[in-house]
Structure 1
Amino acid sequence: MPKCCTLPPLEGIVLREEHVTGEDRQLAESLQAAKAAHFDADGAACDYAALVTSRERGRLAACLADLEKFDPKRVRIPAQTAFWVNVFNAGVLRDIPELELAASLGEVQAFFERPRLKIGGRLYALDDVQHGLLRGNLPKNGRLRPPMLRDDPRLAYMPIAYDERIHFAMHSACRSSPPLRVFDGGQLDVQFEDASTGYVRRSVRIEAGGAVVVVPRLLRWYAADFGGERGVLEFVLTRLEDEAAVDLVDRRRGRVKLQYAAFDWVLNRREASDGNRS
């Protein structure tokens, strides 16, 4: 397995020294290398056939292995959220061969629920990272209980600040997933806003003269994270470019219906004819 070494500086990621440790720097740089080599320019689709056998995936696996004895409390407070998002996204890419074999939605869900990451001597499922740590230990969509018990020692690593925009940072390797990005605690607010705005502008439609707003289904699943349907509507409208369409919605004074687009769990494979292939 390739050693998780420090890579040359990569375009698009500048990690601030005061916010990172050696381990989370190496993980972020390895994740960026995998993105640059195997994803399209937007990070929305991946050449998984090439990724699976690649040096970049080997580096990701090595970096995650290095975290097995890493104390997450060493991650500085401003970098905690970025660290765990990068861990989640790296775990998805490392274990993509398993996700490729998923033949049903149930098997896809099992991929995220099965323990697969070992950090600081403790096991984590991807759901433990997303819903246990990054969402404040709240149930995932379709579940009644949070992923961690109240006395779970892993809760000590929960980031102090919660940000609902993490929903647009988690890459689940499917067509409806937000694109893959690499995050840095020193730039997190700007990066989260860029990720959220990009996803909203690609996914939201205003129809019927402003009477209907079609939004991504994940905003139905986690509407409470945004303050309910009214909060969802405000969140998306403030990020749309089409001011005329937004004005149509505003004129209706709340008489607006939210519709939720279907969520496509099909793997976001990059087409072989993609001209951006590297």
Structure 2
Amino acid sequence: MSVSNFTASAHSLVAVENVQLRGLAFRDSYYENCAASSWRVHWRTSVFNELRSLESSVTHFRCNGEITFKATAGLTGVLMAVFENHIAGRVTVYSVPGCPQCLQAKAALQALNLPVCEVDVSHDAAVRAWLDKMTGSSTVPQIFFNNVHIGGNEILQNLTPDELEPLVRMVKEKPVPPDTLPLPAGNSLESEERDRGAITASELSEALRNLIMKLYSDHLSADGKSVDYKAMSKSTCYERYCELAVYLQRVELLSLSHEERLAFFINVYNALVIHGYLRLGFPKNMWQRYRFFNYVSYLIGGEVFTLQDIENGVLRGNRKGIAQLLKPFSKNDPRLQVALPEAEPLIHFALNCGAKGCPPIRAYTPKDIGSQLRTAAEAFLEADDGCIVDSMKREVKLSQIFKWYKADFGDTDEKLLNWVLNHMRASQKKTSLKTLLSTGNVKVRYMPYDWSTNSSH
């Protein structure tokens, strides 16, 4: 059976449950659940009095209640029975939905029977700016024991028992200082929609993205390494997403500003990828990936947009994509009117195609889209998956993303490396790269791309 019937309909994603890609099966199939081998712990802790007054107004702030989680190996040995049920302070974890590192950190802290209070920074630019200023890092999670900042998940996992015990005792015995941490006020889309009436294109894309992020977070394993897509596809939240996606056909695209267009299509792209995987399964080779990204589509504002159309036609200013002979939109294509005037390189650190080598998924808002995209680029380059600087070999290793879309960053290695340098946050890595570039003769290599998925089945 051909996949040429992958087109859009009034019911959001058009999907075929069982199709053949030139003899290669590509269907909605899953493996049986494997028995979990890690230790499971069930526990309950109460929300503290000083936080109860905030519950009615704080939407993106959550304290742990009854949960099930897998204890991580690095901290299990520090589980100590000496700590009583009453704990005076708290641990605050600044995070974003669907972040594997955030999940790992929270599971480790909960294994210590500590009260973990989570602040979702994806919706609040002021909190993100405060966090960046206070910690010197744009990555998440960022972890505070009362008012003591320890860093991210890797630092937490590597704490020795001697380093960890005084922090745990401080949280147990000392209350949170009154001026410790800002907690964001809520910003419920549903309440705003009730107040204002019709939902705009920007609000719709963010709502879709937030539903997908909730789905992702709800079905992400405690160690943050795998997602139960089978359970996700059967959830009521997924049903709500499908119902809401229908309204994409009615949005008015031409009225969107540049910032609104960026946020809208980034959010819709990331949501469509996951929606496609839930309905069709995961492509297993290059040919299946090509077909997936060229045929999975939504009907948006009366026009069909595939994943390739969104990425290369709209967000890259109508440039040819990987293995494409022609530009996505012809001169007479009405979709050309919504394309950005030129390619935006920063979108490559916001789009997530579902592979492990992709940047993490987030929800983007028009208000501070520039800042959000720069932060995403900084975080990507800060990690070794994105960039490695080897001063001894005079070599810079970059993600394949920079090779595939080199035209967006500069048509020479020198321009590419200068772009990378200018989008790094202050760090030893940036200093090393600057030193290499000042002396010339730097070799660029590209690291293998991890196309594997994080499905638990």
| TM-score between the two structures when normalised by the length of structure 1 | 0.83
Q: Which moved more, 1:45-54 or 1:108-117?
A: 45-54
What's the secondary structure of 2:211's corresponding residue?
helix
Residue 454 of structure 2, aligned match among 254, 268, 276: 268
Residue 215 of structure 1, aligned match among 378, 394, 398: 398
Q: Percent identity?
A: 24
- What is the CA–CA distance in structure 1 between the aligned matches of 2:222 and 2:315, rounded to whole Å? 27
Answer yes or no: is the 8 Å Cα contact 1:174–1:267 preserved in 2: yes
- Count of aligned pairs between the two proteins: 263
What RMSD in Å do the two structures reach over aligned CA positions? 2.9
In the other structure, the counterpart of 1:259 is 445
Residue 327 of structure 2 corresponds to residue 146 of structure 1: yes
In the other structure, the counterpart of 2:309 is 128
The structure with the largest helix share of the pair is 1
- When residues 26 and 42 of structure 1 are mapped into structure 2, their CA distance, relative to the original with a 3 A threshold, is farther
In the other structure, the counterpart of 1:231 is 415
Residue 180 of structure 1: how far off its partner (Å): 0.6
Residue 100 of structure 1: how far off its partner (Å): 3.0
- When residues 223 and 60 of structure 1 are mapped into structure 2, their CA distance, relative to the original with a 3 A threshold, is same
In the other structure, the counterpart of 1:3 is none
The structure with the largest strand share of the pair is 2
- When residues 262 and 34 of structure 1 are mapped into structure 2, their CA distance, relative to the original with a 3 A threshold, is same
Residue 78 of structure 1: how far off its partner (Å): 2.6
- When residues 98 and 256 of structure 1 are mapped into structure 2, their CA distance, relative to the original with a 3 A threshold, is farther
AA in 1 matched with 2:404: W
AA in 2 matched with 1:218: I
| Unaligned runs of at least 5 residues, structure 2 | 1-57, 61-119, 125-186, 193-199
Residue 102 of structure 1: how far off its partner (Å): 2.0
Which of structures 1 and 2 has the larger relative contact order (alpha carbons within 8 angstroms, sep 6+)?
Answer: 1
Residue 381 of structure 2 corresponds to residue 200 of structure 1: yes
- What is the CA–CA distance in structure 1 between the aligned matches of 2:431 and 2:207, rounded to whole Å? 45
What's the secondary structure of 1:235's corresponding residue?
helix
- What is the CA–CA distance in structure 2 between the aligned matches of 1:60 and 1:128, rounded to whole Å? 22
AA in 2 matched with 1:220: K
| Unaligned runs of at least 5 residues, structure 1 | 1-7, 273-278
In the other structure, the counterpart of 2:218 is 37
| TM-score between the two structures when normalised by the length of structure 2 | 0.52
Give runs of ≥4 in structure 1 deviating > 6 Å: 40-44
In the other structure, the counterpart of 1:56 is 237
AA in 2 matched with 1:13: H
AA in 2 matched with 1:232: L
- When residues 96 and 170 of structure 1 are mapped into structure 2, their CA distance, relative to the original with a 3 A threshold, is same
Q: Which moved more, 1:236-245 or 1:191-200?
A: 236-245
Residue 72 of structure 1: how far off its partner (Å): 1.7
What's the secondary structure of 1:213's corresponding residue?
strand
In the other structure, the counterpart of 1:104 is 285
Answer yes or no: is the 8 Å Cα contact 2:276–2:296 preserved in 1: no
- What is the CA–CA distance in structure 2 between the aligned matches of 1:100 and 1:214, rounded to whole Å? 32
AA in 2 matched with 1:261: M
- When residues 78 and 40 of structure 1 are mapped into structure 2, their CA distance, relative to the original with a 3 A threshold, is farther
- When residues 101 and 22 of structure 1 are mapped into structure 2, their CA distance, relative to the original with a 3 A threshold, is closer
In the other structure, the counterpart of 2:339 is 158
Residue 437 of structure 2 corresponds to residue 250 of structure 1: yes
Residue 208 of structure 1: how far off its partner (Å): 5.1
- What is the CA–CA distance in structure 1 between the aligned matches of 2:313 and 2:204, rounded to whole Å? 22
- What is the CA–CA distance in structure 1 between the aligned matches of 2:233 and 2:451, rounded to whole Å? 19
- When residues 211 and 222 of structure 1 are mapped into structure 2, their CA distance, relative to the original with a 3 A threshold, is same
Residue 187 of structure 1: how far off its partner (Å): 1.5
